[in-house]
Every structure is written in structure tokens, then in C-alpha cells.
Amino acid sequence: MEAVVKKFPEKPEDAIVERPSRAEAEAAVETLLRWIGENPKREGLNETPKRVVKAYEELFGGYRHEPAEVLGRTFEEVAGYNDVVLVKDIKFHTHCEHHMVPVLGRAHVAYLPEGRVLGLSKIARLVDMFGRRLQTQEAMTAQVADALMDTLHPRGVAVILEAEHLCMSMRGIRSEGSSTFTATYRGVFADDPAQKESILRLAGCTS
């Protein structure tokens, strides 16, 4: 008898996951309602499974888009400008992949152009796209930086995220008001401490 060889994905995240139907998703929400001790058939909850699934379509809409699509075209007419571009205080929300509880924060994103620049709204859209996925803050920080490097090919990128994790505020340690700071640097920002310090200062992350 010949051996049967199955090819498994190199990483678990590479596996193709079959997407359930809307009806199956709504049934899953109803199951959770019953699990917490609620009656999903009472008036206030009767339409909740449909509402939750519809809300999830919006909250996790980032899976339907890719960075190249969101960033779109770049521009070469910069009149000789080759200094830092920094977009501060981009408000975002995401959900932690461990508890599926909201994370609320601000992003500061900077890059040093190499002859091409982006429309400023594209950076905010990129942050929003990655936010509308299940995330860890560390991974989201790196994803924004890598997407900019891969698409724009600048001399450097710096991404700083500050966020409050409601999984810490609402459960577990219940540490209300605490914030988490993550930062990643690519290119000259990683190689030159003075460049890194200037971005932290411009973003208001140093005293």
C-alpha cells in the first residue's frame, strides 16, 4: 500500500479557512447568548444575532482589503522635498485577538521619502485597515511599517502606537486608564539614533 502524503501549510495562518454562511454566524451568536444565560428569543435580543453579524462585517472589514489597494498611487511632484513626513494622532480601534475585546488608541506614522510621497489620508486608511482585523498591538505596529516600506520604498519608516486595551480595563487585572506603547523603526530611523529621537520628539512621546 502506497503512503499518502499530505502537504500542510508552512504556517497555521497560511491555511485556507472555509468561511461559514451568514446563517451559521448568526447561529453562533445565538449560542453565545444562551451560554451566558440569556434568552435569545426575548424581544430585546430577538434581532441581536443579525445585528452582531452585520456589525462584525464593519468592525472586521480590514480582511477584505490589502495594503497596496488602500495606499493606491504615489506622487513624484514634491518640489524637491525630502525631509520627514509625519502624521500624528491617527485615532484607531481594533480588537485583541486573545479576547476579541476592543483596543482604543492613537497612531503616529512617519516616513522619509525617496522621491515619492503618499496622499496623507492614505496613511490613516492604512492604520484603519489593519485595525479592522483581530490584532496584537505589536503585530499591528509592524504591519503598518512593513506595508509602507514595501509600497513606497522610502529611506525610513517609524510607527508608534499608544493604546488602551479594554481586556485589561474590563477583565483580569482591571487596570483602568493604563496605556501600552509600541514602536518600530525601519531604514534610517533604525540605523540613526538622532533620527529616531527626532521622531519621538515630534510625536510628543518624549518629555
Catalytic residue chosen out of the listed positions 26, 30, 95, 165? 165
Cα 161 to Cα 156: distance, rounded to the nearest angstrom? 17
Could you confirm whether 98 is annotated as catalytic?
yes
Could you confirm whether 195 is annotated as catalytic?
no
The answer to whether the annotation marks 205 as part of a ligand binding site is no
Catalytic residue chosen out of the listed positions 38, 65, 164, 167? 167
Helix (H) / strand (E) containing 147: helix 137-152
Catalytic residue chosen out of the listed positions 30, 96, 143, 195? 96
Catalytic residue chosen out of the listed positions 24, 47, 66, 98? 98
Could you confirm whether 93 is annotated as catalytic?
no
Catalytic residue chosen out of the listed positions 97, 114, 138, 197? 97
Cα 132 to Cα 102: distance, rounded to the nearest angstrom? 11
Helix (H) / strand (E) containing 185: strand 180-187
Count of alpha carbons within 13 angstroms of residue 207, beta-carbon side: 0
Could you confirm whether 99 is annotated as catalytic?
yes
The answer to whether the annotation marks 65 as part of a ligand binding site is no
Q: Are 157 and 145 in contact (CB under 8 A)?
A: yes
The answer to whether the annotation marks 167 as part of a ligand binding site is yes
Could you confirm whether 66 is annotated as catalytic?
no
Residues contributing to the annotated binding site for Zn(2+): 96, 99, 167
Which amino acids are annotated catalytic?
A: 96-99, 137, 165, 167
